[in-house]
Structure 1
Amino acid sequence: MGSSRGAASRLATILGQVGNVGIGEVLRSLDLGGLAGRPIEEVFAGLADFICPDGGSIDEGIARDAFIETIADLADAGITEIDGLTADQMQTVFELYIAHTIEARICNDIGTRVVNMPSDVRTVERIEAQLGSALVECRIVR
């Protein structure tokens, strides 16, 4: 989970900087000054490329997906303003991100380990036939 760890570190740094100098200064330092005064979801979406850069690996995808899920959960967590975030709110944002990364990693691991492809063509054909029969039975029952 290297990408998620790196993204969590960058998120914690950003949240700390917001607490110290305010979101406007943080956005200016990242060349995102145009996001100042925008809704929190837009600000966090703008920070996504810095916190979890787009990449091609599964780990990078998990980090980015977890960050997007975190953004989606902000309103439900009662976090609607980025300026003046309390320490508890910063902790909540960080915890949401960590929880989403763990959840995404578990789901990915389950998916990659549960589905196994057969090693020979005969087995594949037998599975296809069984699935075809099951679909026909489902249509008859309906």
Structure 2
Amino acid sequence: MGTSGTFGGSKSGLVPSWVDDPPSPPAAAPGSATPADGNGSGDGGDGGGGTDTQPPPAVYPPLRPPPAGSGLGAARGNLTRGARTSDGGAIRRGAGQYVSASGGRRGAARRMPSSRAAAGGIAGLARNFATQGPAEALRPFNLEGLAGAPALDVFVALTDALCPPGGTIDEAIARDAMLETIGALAAEGVGNFDEMTPGDLQEFFIGVVSRSIEGKILNEVGTNSIRVSPDLAAVERAQRMLHDFVDGCVRDRFAASGSSLADVTSQQIDDFVSDLYEAAFDLMQALGEAS
């Protein structure tokens, strides 16, 4: 644990959207029709020694078409089908195809730098909470004065510290994942921050990782697909199926690590978080292909 590649898994290549387009003809060489003697004649006649000979056209190898059912279009199609019919298998296939089209587990994880950074901050908070106490856990974020405050207030302040508003789309996905997880905690009811357990903070961490992956898929391929559902209940059902699938993969891979956040050293946090994202994407791809 704690080193890149801990979880292992398969890889798939990204298929560019332009792969079926014919190659563009080569551009004419600049000044190819200009005579060599500079007298303005380009006909190659008696008055000049120039030539209008063009270089032979470049020859490009043929482009190989993508395999059937690949790319973000396939993922979007399955998410649309799943939303319209409440087909959980189609939702899982769509999520798995998103991973494949994003370059496999490593490519998909690399597309989420802000979310991984936010998850790393939460992992460090949970580790320090378990080993040093609430105030010291909050000190790196200049929030130590909130140690005895309501946990929801602390998490909102932590969100502003890790993912301030007004950032890029990737940063917005991380921020939304934190706020949605806070909303889920509020629905369950939580007390003051200093009354929480390391397990509570671990749940917060897992929730943010899961919702950030879910948000990334929805942002890139799923939002319009899921909204084609005939009614609000169908939309909510499709989103819940996607969330349950992603959350299950994250939890499974976290459990497979055999460790808690309290066991991860500060030097290992970044690798641990990256490994978890990669492993979750890898499992999503495998289960999606099997659906």
Alpha-carbon distance in 1 for matches of 2:113, 2:224? 20
Structure 2 gaps of 5+ residues are 1-111, 226-291
Partner of 2:179: 68
Shift of residue 55, structure 1, vs aligned partner: 4.8
Alignment correspondent of 2:141? 30
State the distance in 1 between where 2:224 and 2:184 align: 29
Superposition deviation, residue 77 in structure 1: 4.5
Cα drift, residue 80 of structure 1: 3.1
TM-score by length of 1: 0.68
Alpha-carbon distance between aligned partners in 2 of 1:108 and 1:58, rounded to the nearest angstrom: 9
Is the contact made by 1:70 and 1:97 (CA closer than 8 Å) also made in structure 2? yes
* Cα shift at 1:83: 1.9
How far residue 70 of structure 1 moved from its aligned partner, in angstroms, is 1.2
> Residue in 2 aligned with 1:97?
208
Partner SS state of residue 74, structure 1: helix
| Counterpart contact for 1:3–1:60, Cα < 8 Å | yes
1:82 aligns to 2:193 (yes or no) = yes
- Which residue of 114, 119, 123 maps to 1:12? 123
Residue in structure 1 matched with residue 153 of structure 2 by the alignment: 42
Q: Number of matched residues? A: 114
Q: Using the alignment, how far apart are the partners of 1:75 and 1:112 within structure 2?
A: 25
Check conservation: 1:11, 1:94, Cα contact below 8 A.
Answer: yes
RMSD: 2.3
Structure 1 residue 28: Cα displacement: 3.8
Question: Which has the larger helix fraction?
Answer: 1
| TM-aligned CA distance change 1:88 to 1:4, over 3 Å | same
Q: TM-score with structure 2 length normalisation?
A: 0.35
Whether the 8 Å CA contact 1:79–1:89 is kept in 2: the answer is: no
- Equivalent residue, structure 1, for 2:114: 3
The residue type paired with residue 178 of structure 2 is: F
Query: Matched residues in 1 for 2:146 and 2:116: separation?
Result: 26
Rounded to whole Å, the distance in 2 between the matches of 1:36 and 1:60 is 26
Is 1:108 aligned to 2:219, yes or no? yes
Distance 2:214 2:140 in 1: 32
Identity of aligned residues (%): 43
- Quote the Cα distance in structure 1 between the aligned partners of 2:174 and 2:154: 18
| Distance across 2 between alignment mates of 1:28 and 1:87 | 17
Structure 1: stretches of 5+ with no match in the other structure? 115-142
SS class of match (2:121)? helix
The structure whose Rg is larger is 2
The answer to whether the 8 Å contact 1:7/1:51 transfers is yes
CA distance in 2, matches of 1:87, 1:15: 6
Per-residue CA shift, 1:51-70, capped at 9, x if unaligned?
22445211010001111111
Cα distance 1:85–1:48, how it changes in 2: closer, same or farther (>3 A)? same
